[in-house]
Structure 1
Amino acid sequence: MNQREFEGVTRQPAAIRYEYFIKKAVDYEEIWGLYNDGWATAQDDMGNTLLPFFPNEKFAETFAKKEWEDFSPRRIELAHFLEKWLPGMKSDGVKPSIFPTETDSAIMDVDTLRIDLEAELEKY
């Protein structure tokens, strides 16, 4: 990915970044989170716990700021994410925060994210 693509994608609204995330996660069979003695989390306005996920290491590294500045990107295999992470997040009441930037994020229902990832996988 070149700098032009990077900048173009980060300027897109959350819904477009979500679509980009789905395609890249399936293309590369990986998802990226932020880790430092535990996974980075955030909270929405209603107190729900959010877990941020990114389509690649560079995006994760770039947005590891403020409360996440001591966190480093960590790779999660897509199959493991689908089989273990999403069921665990659902049972814990944690919501995925897809591709957060300084301006916004796509806060998704676990089931919606799973359905979208599986639908994209069926295209391959």
Structure 2
Amino acid sequence: MNNDELGQILELDGEERYDYFLSLVGEEREIWILVNAENRFLKIESEDGDFAHVPVWPTSAFAAKYAEGSGDLSPKSISLPDFFRKWVPGLTKDGLEVGVFPGRDDTLWITDPEELKRDLQDEMSSF
């Protein structure tokens, strides 16, 4: 995927990016997160600390684009079975939401981990 294609997809609104995410992840069977040099995943907290989410992307290229200029963040793949089996229960236990596919605008589809799992399972059933 070239930079023009990346840019066009990043210009989509939050809901359109969510649908794109479901479709691509359902096909590729992996989710991408960003990790630092200590292999700790990126977690974004609200200013008041009442809310936190983990941003996720459908491909390494989108995650890398988001991380540009951040220094030590790099994309890391999570297989869908691992996400369902380990990450969804862990995120739920820790009270973390999932921020699906941040784009160029300030909109972001925030969802509960269990809801994202259901949406991905529904998407995969159409393949």
Alignment deviations for residues 85-113 of structure 1 (CA, whole Å, 9 cap, x no partner): 01111111000011113423211112221
Question: Is 2:44–2:52's contact at 8 Å kept on the other side of the alignment?
Answer: yes
Tell me how large the CA RMSD over aligned residues is. 1.6
Measure, in 1, the Cα distance between the counterparts of 2:45 and 2:68: 15
TM-score, with normalisation over the residues of structure 2? 0.88
Aligned twin of 1:18? 18
Q: How does 1:1-124 map to 2 (within 5 A)?
A: 1-36=1-36, 37=38, 38-44=40-46, 47-65=50-68, 68-103=70-105, 104-124=107-127
- Once residues 119 and 46 of structure 2 are traced to their aligned partners in structure 1, the CA distance between those partners, rounded to angstroms, is 22
Segment of structure 1 superposing worse, 41-50 or 27-36: 41-50
Q: TM-score, normalized by length of structure 1?
A: 0.90
1:5 positional shift: 2.6
How many aligned residue pairs are there? Answer: 123
2:85 partner letter: E
Report the more deviating stretch, 27-36 or 42-51: 42-51
CA deviation after TM superposition for structure 1 residue 122, in Å: 0.9
Identity %: 30
Structure 1 outlier segments of 4+, above 4 Å: none
Moved more, 55-64 or 68-77: 68-77
For 1:77, the aligned partner's letter is S
